[in-house]
Amino acid sequence: MMLTLALRMLFRRGETAPSILTIALLVAILASMNAIVNHLCLQAETLGMLVNPSVTYIVLSRDSKSVTDSQVEAELARIIGNLNYTGYVLPQKVLAANLTTSQSNYTIHVRGVEDVDCFLKTRRAYLDGKAAKNWTEANMGELLARAFSINVGDKVGLTVGDRHVEVKVVGTFRSRTQSDVELLVPMETANRLTGNSDTVSIIEFSLKGDVDCREAVSQIVQLLPENVKLVQTRQLKEFLWQMNAQTLTFLNVLSMAVYAVVAAASYIIATRLITESSYELSMLRAIGAKKHATFVIILAYTATAAFLGSIFGIALGTAGAQTASTALRWILPSVEITPFLKLEQALQTLLLTLASSIIGCIPPALKSTGAKYVEQPL
C-alpha cells in the first residue's frame, strides 16, 4: 500500500516524463537498427536460396600467401582432367609483370591459360575483338585497358625479371570478375616470362552436375600431394551467412554500448529523484517507512520508468524506421526497404533495458538508505 502511494506521488513529479522519454529515445535507436538489419538479413537469406551459382574448385600450394606465390605441378591438371566426374579443367599461371606502353610503365597481373577462348567462355565474358591464339597475342581486361588508355591493336611489352616479351592486344573483355584488371595470355607466353613450364599457379576445375560432390572431392583430395590444398569457390550461401553473423555481432556490440548509456541514464534519474524528492521521501520516513522501503521505492520508480520507456521506444523506433523507409521509397522508387521487428527481439530489448536500468539505479538507491532526509532542506 505504501509502495503504491509512494509511486503515485513520485510519478506526479514534472521530471517523470523527461526520464521516460530519455529511455524511450535510447531504446528507439536499438529498435530501428534491429528493424532495418532484419530486412537486410532476410533479403540476404532470400538471395542465398534463390541464387545457386555453379560451384568451382581450385588447387593451389598449401603454404602460399597469394596466388602469385603458388606453385602446383602442371601434371595434376591432366590427372584431374582424366577423371570421369570432372567438368572443365583450367590450369592457370598468375604472375606480376611490368607492363610497358608507349607512355609509361605499370605493374600488373598477367594470367596465362591453355585456351584463352575457353577461359573467357567459362567467365561468360563479352569480348571486343578476338581471343589470343599464340604467344604474341593477348587479351586485356576492360578496366585495365581503360585505366592505361590501351586499345585493340596496340602493342605492349611484358617484363618479369630479365625476361621480356612483346605482345599485341587483339581484344578486350568484360567478365565482371577480377580478370577485368588483368592481362590474359596463352600459357606459352607465361612460360616464356617465367622460364618454367612444369608448374602453374592454380588449377581451377568443376564437377559434372550428376555426381556426388562430397564423394568426388574426397577422391580428388586423396590424389593430391601433401603440399597442395583444395578450396571451394563461389560459396554464396556461406558468404551471406557469415555476413549476417558479422552484422549481428556488430549490432550486439553497439547494443551493449546503448545499454551502458541506459544504465548511466538510470543512475542520473535515480540520483535526481533522491535529491529533488527529499521532501516526499522524508514524509514517507516520518509515517513509518523503513530504510529498505526507500531503496525499494527508488528501484520500483526507476524500473517502472524504464519499462514504460522501453515500450514507447520500441514502438517509436519501429514506426520511425518504417516511416523513414516509406519516405525514401517516395524519393527513390527503386529502393524498397521494409523494416520489421521480431517478437523475441522486442522482448529481449525490453528485458535488457529493464535490467540495465535496475543495475544503474542500485548505487544511488543503496546510498539513499543511509541518508537523513530530515537534515536536508525541504
Q: Where are the domains of the chain?
A: 2-50+238-375, 56-233
Q: What secondary structure, in 3-state letters, does 211-277 show?
A: CCHHHHHHHHHHHCCCCEEEEEECCHHHHHHHHHHHHHHHHHHHHHHHHHHHHHHHHHHHHHHHHHC
- Residue 145 has a pLDDT of 93
Under a CB-based contact definition with an 8 Å cutoff, are residues 44 and 246 in contact? no
- Residue 7 has a pLDDT of 64
- Residue 143 has a pLDDT of 92
The low-confidence residues of the chain, meaning pLDDT below 50, are 51-52, 373-378
- Residue 271 has a pLDDT of 87
Under a CB-based contact definition with an 8 Å cutoff, are residues 159 and 98 in contact? yes
- Residue 336 has a pLDDT of 79
- Residue 269 has a pLDDT of 87
Mind listing the pLDDT tens digit for each residue in 28-61? 999 998 888 888 888 777 765 654 455 788 999 9
Q: What angle is formed at CA 55 by the lines to CA 52 and CA 56, rounded to 5 degrees? A: 155
- Write out the three cell numbers for 310: 522501453
Q: How far apart are CA 308 and CA 161, in angstroms?
A: 72
Was domain 56-233 assigned CATH 2.40.40.20?
A: yes
- Residue 373 has a pLDDT of 44
Mind listing the pLDDT tens digit for each residue in 129-142? 999 999 999 999 99
What residues form DSSP beta bridges with 110?
95, 183
Element containing residue 312 per DSSP (H, E): helix 291-331
Q: How far apart are CA 190 and CA 97, in angstroms?
A: 10
Q: How far apart are CA 25 and CA 27, in angstroms?
A: 5
